[in-house]
Structure 1
Amino acid sequence: MSEFYDRMAATALRLIAQYGQPVIIRDIKVGEYDPDTGTVPPDTIIEQTAQGILLDFTGQEFQNNSLIQQGDKKLKVAAKGLQWKPSLLNKVVVQGRTWSIIPPLKEINPAGTPILYELQVRS
């Protein structure tokens, strides 16, 4: 069964790469105050490139979900090849624009094999 879902994840990556665009998922670890030195080290930024499709929400989705604000977008990201999965604390960069991830963050994960992440993003 796992081999089937692995093939599905590879197909999702191939299609999103073909019809979507590269996106950057950025994880920022804030430097913690060091009381011995009285300083705060710079933030640590880790990035990974993913393949994604940026979409508008439909009118029906606006009617059914009061958490969607005007200007929000739906970002579908292929799970295959990611070093880590996206979290609500990450930022995404699409077409040079930085977006915050807004709940809910959906993971399409049949039988324990991540295939796709669906994110609601806001700039």
Structure 2
Amino acid sequence: MSKKLTDAQIGAQAKALGVEAAALKAVHEVECRGSGFNSDDTPVILFERHVMRQRLIANGQSKTVDVMMAKCPDLCSASAGGYGLYSVQHGRLAAATEYHRESALESVSWGLGQVMGYHWKSLGYK
């Protein structure tokens, strides 16, 4: 079974959302290169260092923010960017979980829709 959405599936979802199919297809192609999974079946992710800082603060981990910003600004920073290649994203996530797992998982945009991890609770996940 293909892990890529068909044009018919995109069209049906666009209709359900009340948006143009072309607009949904464009977001789909740009945000996750047409699939929610990499060739090794891991989810497409993007680790966002500025979100890591925000989530650490929200999760009461201010001391960890100070440590991470000094030791690994590529994983925790006040500024966005510095994402690196898609191929290094899972490694960046793994490194960040060593400091604070929940904040790291919340700092990633996940899968097909590139939904931010901090939406886990409102989406009904444990």
Which structure has more strand as a fraction of its residues?
Answer: 1
TM-score with structure 1 setting the length: 0.30
Which structure has more helix as a fraction of its residues?
Answer: 2
TM-score with structure 2 setting the length: 0.29
